[in-house]
Structure 1
Amino acid sequence: MANKVSVIGSGNWGTTIARMVGTNCAEKSSLFEKKVNMWVFEEKIQVDGKEYKLTEYINQHHENVKYLPGTKLPDNVVAVPDVKDAIAGSNILIFVLPHQFVKGTCESIKDLVRKDAFAISLCKGFEVTENDLIMISDVVKNTLNISCGALMGANLANEIAMEQFAEATIATKDESQGRIFQQVFNRPFFRCAWVDDVTAVECCGALKNIIALGAGFVDALGMGNNTKCAIIRLGLMEMMAFAEEFYGCKNRSVFFESCGIADLVTTSYGGRHTKLGKLFVTTGKSFEELEKEHLNGQKLQGHQTAEKVYKMLEAKGPADVEKYPLFAAIHRVSQRQMKADQIFECLQNHPEHM
């Protein structure tokens, strides 16, 4: 029996993914059912003076005019406004929505998911609880009682929508599922490598958002590439050390896959965290204000992740905070507890070996 795929989410990255997945499902009829449902949070939009439901417009014009304008979707990608209908009958679930909505979405569909289903998360963030940062794949796995992997990488959605070559990292515990996901996602312009360390891959996707804020602070100060690259290098060191200390990720080679250093560099030069990190310093506005002005409904994760990371370090004692001076400094700048140019004072005696 062919696999049936559903995409849960329809922002610019979700729509880009649905475009690639839909094309692959149409081309690989022996592996996948052709129709791909894409769950779309229903909203009203105005196009040329006429009001549409977003799902109605997508299905009529094969374009997500709000989140990925100018890019055509294949005819077999169908926008569905009810997530329960969107996942009906599917055994492959692709989660690509803001991380803060994953838990509630999973709760709403947990009684309808096929017992043989498996999932993958493309959500770059953690589920933040009072005491911990939980992997989104674990949220999906524990709520739906199915296995869940992760896909992360240097993936700016608009560039991939234009079919500019990019890489990503797929992580699954089960290699056979990983190979199926490669068939789901791989395109001539999109290459996915497979690894088995889901936790390390997700740590990369979430922690790099903290460092990208720091890169934005550097831009706001008018610093050049030397300074930004120092932030990236030291940030990568702290990411690896934190993932090992708190999550047992000892295989540091994962951090040199696309999900690690490549995603960190890309985000630090072209991502929304860097853009808004710069504006946070130059305008004095809050992240919430900047989100409303610049992100078209999307959210940042970096400052919230930085706050939780700081609290986790603080709970272990002052010595642990001192081991991660860049994480600590970015958190303090994000909370207006210190000025952006004071970051460099914190880095003068950065630990050389973490």
Structure 2
Amino acid sequence: MNDRRQPVVTVLGGGSWGTTVASIAARNTPTLQWLRDDEVATAINETHMNPRYLPDLALTPTLRATSDLEYAVSTADVLVVGVPSQHYRSVLEAAAPFVRPWVPVISLVKGLEQSTRKRMTEVVAEILPGHPAGVLAGPNIAREIVQGYAAAATIALPDHGTAVMLQSLFNHQRFRVYTSEDVVGVEAAGALKNIYAIAVGFGDGLGAGDNTRAMVITRSLREMSRIGVAMGGRDETFSGLAGMGDLIATATSPHSRNRHVGVELGKGATLEEITTSMNQVAEGIKTAGSVVAIADEFSVDATIASEVDAVINHGQPVTATFRGLLRRTPGHEVHGTDW
């Protein structure tokens, strides 16, 4: 990046989280957001709001938006990608011809590519080889951050110096950004926690109570740590912001899409009814089957994830899921392999 001017950040994606990160970055450096919808891009430029995903919330006035992908990408010194996992590869392939050499690529996506079970930085490595690839993740409810509530996240890249350099683009008094070199762990935690938030939502939808919620969150953290370490992440990452922090936020917030899916399923709604009523993607729906396959590949017990997958993909009733979990004999809390 050129030291004689401020780096330009381009954020690909017009959802609530992509818009929030673009608004954060715009406080620190020139930032451009790319959206497919020209009307929403115009609204951001003229009213400083995203009327579709963050209505009535003011964004940073200096944030600019465009629906011209070539223009957005060709001007970027840092490329941030916040489109849903199922569109990630196609958007990145469309953007690739316009990405200048060595531009870092930061993923905001908390999911896996369904067809390959790859993490998003692995997709970046395929499409843009040689570009530094990292992830920004944590307990980040978009609406609260835009409203000015304090929050924190982790930016992870293989090279710590690059992480520190990019940290300053997103760090703010009320949005604290920490650094990590554990890209695998931070990405895995972000994808895994969505499934466990659905599981917690099951209990809330059934009216299971606070003790049950605490039990499911705690055992979910243990399970996702085992899977994440098997994938190559560091155990300590799962007790940090991207792991425990994001799991707590996603499993308890009324703004959480994945928790909402679990709650509504617990109340008896069908998955089709739930997804039709939502205007954004709940990544846990897409990820559940992939995570179970990964756990099988590494011979890791994934009882809770398997039960969520059974409900999401195989028609198992939520009530049967909870009865099945509670029938299991508990083992050692730390060293046991059961849920």
Q: Same fold (TM over 0.5)?
A: yes
1:290-325 Cα shifts (integer Å, max 9, x gaps): 1221x22x1112132111222344567xxx47x221
Q: For 1:248-259, what aligned pairs fall within 5 Å after superposition?
A: 248-249=232-233, 251-259=234-242
Contact 1:213/1:274 (<8 A) preserved: yes
Counterpart check, 1:324 vs 2:307? no
Deviation at 1:104, TM superposition (A): 0.3
Contact 2:195/2:305 (<8 A) preserved: yes
Counterpart check, 1:103 vs 2:107? no
| Amino acid across the alignment from 1:83 | L
Choose from 215, 227, 244 the match for 2:200: 215
Question: Aligned equivalents of 2:289 and 2:273: distance in 1?
Answer: 18
Counterpart check, 1:340 vs 2:319? yes
User: What does residue 41 of structure 1 align with?
Assistant: 36
Q: For 1:167-206, what aligned pairs fall within 5 Å after superposition?
A: 167-206=152-191
Choose from 250, 272, 279 the match for 1:267: 250
Return 261-270 or 60-69, whichever deviates more.
Answer: 60-69
1:317-343 Cα shifts (integer Å, max 9, x gaps): xxx47x221111121122322443433
Deviation at 1:88, TM superposition (A): 1.4
Question: Aligned equivalents of 1:37 and 1:180: distance in 2?
Answer: 19
CA RMSD of superposed structures (Å): 1.8
3-state SS, counterpart of residue 69 of structure 1: coil
User: What does residue 138 of structure 1 align with?
Assistant: 122
Choose from 297, 303, 308 the match for 2:285: 303
User: What does residue 62 of structure 1 align with?
Assistant: 48
3-state SS, counterpart of residue 93 of structure 1: strand
Deviation at 1:346, TM superposition (A): 2.8
Question: Aligned equivalents of 2:331 and 2:90: distance in 1?
Answer: 40
5+ residue gaps, structure 2, are none
In terms of fraction of residues, the more strand-rich structure is: 1
Question: Aligned equivalents of 1:315 and 1:92: distance in 2?
Answer: 35
User: What does residue 7 of structure 1 align with?
Assistant: 11
Return 327-336 or 16-25, whichever deviates more.
Answer: 327-336
Contact 2:73/2:79 (<8 A) preserved: yes
| Amino acid across the alignment from 1:229 | A
Deviation at 1:38, TM superposition (A): 0.4
Deviation at 1:174, TM superposition (A): 1.3
TM-score, normalised on structure 2?
0.90
